[in-house]
């Protein structure tokens, strides 16, 4: 691109009394910032897939399927409807479990951030559960709630909620004292302080917590489906793994990361809609 632009500029230069025409150059890769930013990531992935393809063709397909085999499996399991149904089910568990943890986590977090007593009472539990690998609770959750959707939502909720509580409480506590004074001077009630001062202040923290929680919730969804119902994406992964079908197994794993990517995009869209001021760029363009 930039090479052709260069030559056209050079050929038109002698007509004007401008800079002298550049001497003819040999072709060189234009190693500028734009090329580095756009081309390098793509080149990296292409090289990686190429090496994988060549290497994968040499080994037993049970150990490692080639990218082309994975792509073929993708088409197969999309075509027979298997992937679509599994994908939707995983999304459902994620939406309900993560959605509940967001609602409960933000509410409890704001309460802890605004009331020191509440924070002191709840902190031991929040710290304990945040540090515990709660996936170990799966058998107990199954004993309590049975096999199926409810127990998987519960696991997802239990994994996700603590990060949201901790970050929301931190963001609420960090409300600048001068803004709280201001609210006091204009005699704002507690609900008004929460809604107009403390919660907006906590928004960047809340979304940081939600992003961490989303990754944990997705683990809950997939492990839950693998361990409990054998449905959804986790079910596909478990079943294809058990039957040594490496190509559709990898296709299912990649699908689960697509669930995570979609969740992250939804969060970002929400943040921009709900809190345009929380990124500097949009705060300045909103005038």
Partner 1 sequence: MSAPTACIEIEHVSKRYQRPGRKAESFLAVSDVHFDIRQGEFISLIGASGCGKTTLLRMMSGLIPVDDGQIRINGNPVQGVPGSIGFVFQEPALLPWKTVRENMVFALKAKELSPGEVDAAIDAKLELTNLQDFAGYYPSALSGGMQQRAGLARALACDPDVLFMDEPLSALDAFTRRRLQQDIATIIEGIGATTVLVTHDVDEAVFFSDRIVVMGTSPGSVRDVVEVPFPKPRKHAELLGDPEVAKLRDHVLGIVLGLH
Pairwise CA distance, residues 256 & 91, whole Å: 9
Which range in 8-16, 26-34, 102-110, 178-186 contacts partner 1 by CB under 8 A? 178-186
Can residue 181 be called a binding residue for partner 1 (CB under 8 A)?
yes
Pairwise CA distance, residues 212 & 258, whole Å: 16
Can residue 178 be called a binding residue for partner 1 (CB under 8 A)?
yes
Within positions 190 to 229, which residues make up the interface with partner 1, using CB under 8 A? 192, 196-197, 200, 203
* Least CB distance to partner 1 at residue 106 (A): 16
Which residue in the set 27, 136, 189, 273 belongs to the binding site for partner 1 (CB under 8 A)?
189
Within positions 234 to 273, which residues make up the interface with partner 1, using CB under 8 A? none
Q: 185 vs 261, which CB is nearer to partner 1?
A: 185
Which range in 34-42, 53-61, 142-150, 181-189 contacts partner 1 by CB under 8 A? 181-189
Can residue 116 be called a binding residue for partner 1 (CB under 8 A)?
no
Can residue 182 be called a binding residue for partner 1 (CB under 8 A)?
yes
- Angle, helices 82-114/116-131, rounded to nearest 10 degrees: 140
The Cα-based distances of 90 to 86, 98, 250, 258 in angstroms read 6, 12, 16, 11
* Interface with partner 1 (CB under 8 A): 178-179, 181-189, 192, 196-197, 200, 203, 275, 277-278, 280, 283-284, 286-287
């Amino acid at each position: 691109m930039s090479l052709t632009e260069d030559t056209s500029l050079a050929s038109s230069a002698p007509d004007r009394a401008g800079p002298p025409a550049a001497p003819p150059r040999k072709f060189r890769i234009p190693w500028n910032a734009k090329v580095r930013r756009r081309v390098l990531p793509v080149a990296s992935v292409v090289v990686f897939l190429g090496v994988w393809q060549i290497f994968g063709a040499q080994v037993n397909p049970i150990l490692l399927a080639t990218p082309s085999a994975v792509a073929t499996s993708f088409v197969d399991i999309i075509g027979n409807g298997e992937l679509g149904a599994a994908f939707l089910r995983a999304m459902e568990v994620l939406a309900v479990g993560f959605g509940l943890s967001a609602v409960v986590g933000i509410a409890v977090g704001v309460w802890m951030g605004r009331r020191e007593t509440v924070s002191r009472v709840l902190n031991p539990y929040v710290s304990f559960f945040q540090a515990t690998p709660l996936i170990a609770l799966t058998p107990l959750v199954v004993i309590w709630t049975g096999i199926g959707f409810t127990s998987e939502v519960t696991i997802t909720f239990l994994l996700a909620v603590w990060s949201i509580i901790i970050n929301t409480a931190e963001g609420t506590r960090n409300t600048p004292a001068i803004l709280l004074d201001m609210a006091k001077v204009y005699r704002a009630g507690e609900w008004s302080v929460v809604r107009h001062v403390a919660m907006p202040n906590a928004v960047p923290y809340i979304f940081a917590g939600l992003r961490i929680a989303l990754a944990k919730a997705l683990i809950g969804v997939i492990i839950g489906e693998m361990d409990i119902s054998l449905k959804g994406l986790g079910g596909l992964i478990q079943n294809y793994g058990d039957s040594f079908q490496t190509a559709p197994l990898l296709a299912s794993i990649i699908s689960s990361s697509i669930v995570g990517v979609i969740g992250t995009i939804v969060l970002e869209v929400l943040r921009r809609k709900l809190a345009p001021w929380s990124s500097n760029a949009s705060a300045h363009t909103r005038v």
